[in-house]
Amino acid sequence: MNILFLSISNIDLNKHSIYSDLLKKFSKNNCDIYVVSAAQRRSKEKTNLIVENNVHTLKVKTTNITKTNIIEKGITTLTIENRFKTEIKKYFKNVRFDLVLYPTPPITFTNVVEFVKKRDNAKAYLLLKDIFPQNAVDIGMMRKSGVMGILYKMFRKKEKKLYAVSDYIGCMSQANVDYVLKHNSEVPKEKVHICPNTIDVVDDFLSDERKLQIREKYGIPKDVKVFIYGGNLGKPQDIPFVIECLKANAGKKDRFFVICGTGTEYPKLKAFVETEKPSNVLLINGLPKAEYEEFVKAFDIGLIFLDKRFTIPNFPSRSLSYMNSKMPILACTDKNTDIGKVISENGFGWWCESDSTEKFTAAVDFAIKEDITAMGEKGYKYLCENYTSKNSYDIIMKNITESEKVKV
């Protein structure tokens, strides 16, 4: 079975991520994998093909689409599918694909998917990780009226076309399924189902001695509850609100906050830390992935932040690394996502709405009094039962085999 995977992310099957772990599962089940990903301008890479065993990785040179200004992001979003289509024709002209997998963002892979479906009689499976353009409207990056409204209508049309060309739509959670069907009545219910973010579980826990070494290295107290946020620091996280939350907890000696990440809003956090010098906050401008995966295990409680204005139900994948580290999660989010419901109802975390610092502080107060060891174990167990790459692989294969549309 030949699988074509389209993504703007840098996919390396030698590393650990939601996409590489899933593709490794396909690879181990005798599938030939063909990855087409973006080599963004900042990487200074040229278009190139790398072949390792049954994995073919084609990196296509593009302009920047992540962690850049909205103008360059928009231009790249609109032009990337033609670049991908051209290079697929060039490098994979003699390959016939059985299945095309593609996550959002972006929503502009429709022409590529249509081309492969028509040429190869392939089936198309959308991994819906991002509901655009509504998410951009929610946080004020796009409007439905005026000049920006023209852009919104264009992207909305592309979004609907992507749903139409997809034979299957795998959503991160039930709230995502409900949202897609509610706002896209033309989409058949039978093509939409849950296919959550998943990873390969890594049983690599730190000793108490190693945890202490990491805390000492970064000047983090050893006898307080440490909350960590690791990941993107951009508009979706509402960094001004995060700063207000840190201010509301500044100087409290029974809690410490580690913020580790990169993104367009990082300078705001940096300015806050340099100006106000909070004694219980550490800001780190990202870490190499392997180093971060060890780093995060040295702490107690994982943080998730989402802007209160979101009407679309995000389900951040960073929760997986917390669960794998046996850490409970405190999610401070909008009321439309169901990640808080999943966390709280299954006993491995807490939720508060991201509309007041008082609610966040109350949640922190509650968390530091809880038995985080038992809660962390519950989260790890839930991960092993629901969010492993085998789960998502089985869901995808179940759908494509039950419909008898792909021979495997």
Whether 159 and 232 map to the same domain: the answer is: no
Residue 408 lies in a domain: no
Determine the length of the chain. 408
Lowest mean pLDDT among 5-14, 45-54, 399-408: 399-408
Confidence of residue 48 (pLDDT cuts 50, 70, 90): confident
What's the predicted TM-score (pTM) here?
0.91
Residue 146, classified by CB atoms within 10 Å of its CB into exposed (0-12), middle (13-18) or buried (19+), is: exposed
Whether 43 and 84 map to the same domain: the answer is: yes
pLDDT tens column, 165-185: 999 999 999 999 999 999 999
Residue 408 is predicted with a pLDDT of 44
What is the CATH classification number for the domain harbouring 38?
A: 3.40.50.2000
Instruction: Specify which residues 38 forms β-bridges with.
Output: 60
Confidence of residue 14 (pLDDT cuts 50, 70, 90): confident
Average pLDDT over residues 376-387: 97
Lowest mean pLDDT among 37-51, 191-205, 267-281: 37-51
Whether 376 and 397 map to the same domain: the answer is: no
- Both structure tokens of 322: 């917390």
Whether 50 and 184 map to the same domain: the answer is: yes
Percent of all residues in the chain with a pLDDT value above 70, rounded to a whole number: 98
Residue 209, classified by CB atoms within 10 Å of its CB into exposed (0-12), middle (13-18) or buried (19+), is: exposed
Residue 70 lies in a domain: yes
- 5 pLDDT exceeds 80? yes
Cα dihedral 91, 93, 96, 99 in deg (nearest 10): 50
Task: Report the C-alpha gap between 122 and 99 in whole angstroms.
Answer: 5
Q: Higher confidence at residue 45 or residue 271? A: 271
pLDDT tens column, 181-224: 999 999 999 999 999 999 999 888 899 999 999 999 999 998 99
Percent of all residues in the chain with a pLDDT value above 90, rounded to a whole number: 76
Whether 153 and 269 map to the same domain: the answer is: no
Average pLDDT over residues 369-391: 96
Q: Higher confidence at residue 19 or residue 81? A: 19
Produce one character per residue of 5-17: b if its CB has 16 or more CB atoms within 10 Å, e if not.
Answer: bbbbbbbbbeebb
Whether 310 and 352 map to the same domain: the answer is: yes
Residue 295, classified by CB atoms within 10 Å of its CB into exposed (0-12), middle (13-18) or buried (19+), is: buried
Residue 407 is predicted with a pLDDT of 46
Confidence of residue 404 (pLDDT cuts 50, 70, 90): low
pLDDT tens column, 343-361: 999 999 999 999 999 999 9
Instruction: Name every residue whose Cβ is closer than 8 Å to that of residue 42 and which is 6 or more positions away in sequence.
Output: 64
- Sheet of 168-171, strands arranged across: 48-52, 55-62, 32-40, 2-7, 99-104, 123-128, 168-171, 192-194
Half-sphere exposure of 392 (CA within 13 A, CB side): 29
Task: Report the C-alpha gap between 162 and 102 in whole angstroms.
Answer: 10
Q: Higher confidence at residue 289 or residue 318? A: 318
Residue 329 lies in a domain: yes
Domain that holds residue 152: 2-199+388-402
Residue 389 has phi, psi (to 5 degrees) of -60, -25
**pLDDT averaged over every residue in the chain:** 92
- 401 pLDDT exceeds 70? yes
Whether 232 and 324 map to the same domain: the answer is: yes
Residue 141 lies in a domain: yes
Number of separate domains in the chain: 2
Average pLDDT over residues 24-30: 93
Whether 85 and 173 map to the same domain: the answer is: yes
Question: Would you say 56 and 23 are in contact if contact means Cβ atoms under 8 Å apart?
Answer: no
Task: Report the C-alpha gap between 300 and 364 in whole angstroms.
Answer: 12
Residue 185 lies in a domain: yes
Distances (CA, A) of 144 to 76, 149, 167, 391: 21, 4, 29, 38
CA-based nearest residue to 293, from 204, 180, 174: 204
- 299 pLDDT exceeds 90? yes
Whether 266 and 392 map to the same domain: the answer is: no
Instruction: Specify which residues 302 forms β-bridges with.
Output: 228, 329
Whether 343 and 393 map to the same domain: the answer is: no
* Helix H or strand E encompassing 192: strand 192-194
Residue 15 is predicted with a pLDDT of 86
Residue 176 is predicted with a pLDDT of 97
Residue 284 has phi, psi (to 5 degrees) of -125, 130
* Helix H or strand E encompassing 150: helix 146-165
pLDDT tens column, 239-261: 999 999 999 999 899 999 999 99
Residue 222 has phi, psi (to 5 degrees) of -90, -15
- Both structure tokens of 378: 């519950």
Whether 184 and 35 map to the same domain: the answer is: yes
Whether 255 and 393 map to the same domain: the answer is: no
Residue 61 is predicted with a pLDDT of 82
Confidence of residue 73 (pLDDT cuts 50, 70, 90): confident
Amino acid at 158: K
Task: Report the C-alpha gap between 174 and 166 in whole angstroms.
Answer: 19
**Beta-strand relationship, 225-232 and 255-262:** parallel
Q: Higher confidence at residue 12 or residue 340? A: 340
Residue 407 lies in a domain: no
Q: How many CB atoms lie within 10 A of CB 183?
A: 15
